[in-house]
Structures are given as structure tokens and as C-alpha cells.
Amino acid sequence: MIAPQDVFPQIADWVANLDDVFPGSWVKPYFAQWEVVHLLSLALIGGTTLLLNLRLIGFGLSDEPPSAVRRAVLPWLNLGVAGILVTGVLIGTSNPERLYTSEAFTAKMLGLAAALVLTYGVSLPAARAEGRLSRGAGLWAAVGLAIFGLSLGVFAVAKLVNPGLWHLVIAAALLVLFVTRRRMRIIYLLGLVGLMATQVAIHHVIYRPDDYANLDPANKAMIGIYLAWILAAAAIQIVRGGRDPGGGPAVKALAYAGILVWVVTAAAGRWIAFA
């Protein structure tokens, strides 16, 4: 009930016709080539938002003020966003029925909206103000986080798509591993290894690998436990660590969201093809 066709049933005829007219019909024979440009744009967004938000967390190019990192990444971030939007629309018009019936696509579009709000409304202005969060940016943060939450909710209940949420767990786990130090990092890593061992045991000792009826709820519970462990470590880092973070805890927390929201959007995009 959460695919675009459920929300916008009145545009079904328009969608059905999209790949027969320009530009869909024109893109269709070169679908793979346009996909490559879509992926290259995604890579640009990944690199730039990572450096921008890591700086706000207090890592990466931490010798430079946040405003300098913002200035350096902005043209390439803009290029990546423009690229992903243009190629996304073109690919979409050449493959419209697939997206119209895809629950993952709903999660992806909500994720994209949240990513744009959190990047352009929060991370970039906060970096420009050397890590301070203005009232306006705070408002955008609330809007962005609300849409991000909605995207995650759709992702979590989407049929055959929700295993893609493990990409969020993997990305968040690695991000927090990168920003933790010394004893904290060892404890954090041991916790992760313990959780992975538990999961292997659930799949091969407690239940049989094909016992999906039991494994499905167990995996969902494990996602929650992983995220709780990762968020706890991130919370400690937000309060304590990082070289010259510039911003306060709120900006640091939003910078984590600013990285992961793009990962969730990209993951939902990839899982359109897997459902």
C-alpha cells in the first residue's frame, strides 16, 4: 500500500505512456549508459557529503575551518546532485512502470527529499557558520529528520525490500568505527563482533538457515539491537570526542544523519531492482 501507484492512482495512464514519448523513449536504448552517470553522480555526492559532515563531527579535514571545507566541496556536491536528479528523471521516464509499482522507490524519493533538506538546509549552512546552528537551520533539521524517519518507516515495511536496511547498519557501524578512538573503539568493535556471532548462531544453530518464519522476526530484532549499540557509541562520541568539532552536539548528531540519509536513499534505490 506504499508504492507510488497506491498514493497516486490517478496518474496510472500518464505513467504507462511515459516510456513511449520523449525523453523516456530516447533514453531507453541507452539505459545502462545513463545508469553509469547516475552512479558517478552518486559517488560525487558520497565523497563530498562525507568530507563535509565528517568535518562537522570533528574528523577528516579537521585542520581547516568547516567553512573552508564547505567552500571546497560545494561545486562538486552541486554537480553530483544535479547529475543524480537529471539522470534519475531520465532513467525514471524510460522505466516508469517499475518505479510506479515499487515500494522501494517511495522510500528512495522520501530519502532524497530528506537528504536534500539535511544537506542544503542544515549541513552546508552549519559549516558556513563554523558549526553553529541557526534558528532557520534548526527548523530545516526538524523537517529533514521527519522526512528521513518517514523514509526509514517505508523502507522497514516494504515487502522484499527491507533487508536493504542492513546497508544502513553497515554504513553506520563503519562510520562510528572510524570516529571512535582507543579503548572505546576496542569495546565498540568487540560488541559488534559479539552481535555478528549471535546472528550467525541464530541462522545456523538456533534455527535452520531456511526457517524464514522464525528468522525474519529474529533478523528484525537484530537490526534494532545493532542500531542501539551503534547509536550508543555515536552518542558518546558526540558528547566527548573529536578534534575541534566546531559545532555542538546537535550539529554533530545532524552531521551523522547528513551522511547516512544519502546511504539510505542509495540503498533504497538499489533495492528497487531486487524486490
Binding site for other proteins (CB under 8 A): 32-33, 35-36, 39-40, 42-48, 50-51, 60-64, 68, 72-73, 75-76, 163-164, 166-167, 170-171, 174, 178, 212, 262-263, 266-267, 270-271, 274
| Shortest Cβ 98–other proteins spacing (Å) | 15
- Contact between 258 and 53 under an 8 Å Cβ cutoff? The reply is yes
H helix runs in 95-181, sequence order: 96-100, 103-116, 124-128, 135-157, 166-179
- Contact between 6 and 106 under an 8 Å Cβ cutoff? The reply is no
Cα Rg, the chain, nearest whole Å: 20
| Shortest Cβ 63–other proteins spacing (Å) | 6
Q: Compute CA distances 103 → 6, 45, 107, 141, whole Å.
A: 10, 24, 7, 25
Whose Cβ is closer to other proteins: residue 45's or residue 110's? 45
Whose Cβ is closer to other proteins: residue 7's or residue 36's? 36
| Shortest Cβ 1–other proteins spacing (Å) | 23
Q: Compute CA distances 61 → 99, 177, 237, whole Å.
A: 38, 17, 18
| Shortest Cβ 235–other proteins spacing (Å) | 23
Whose Cβ is closer to other proteins: residue 46's or residue 138's? 46
Whose Cβ is closer to other proteins: residue 1's or residue 32's? 32
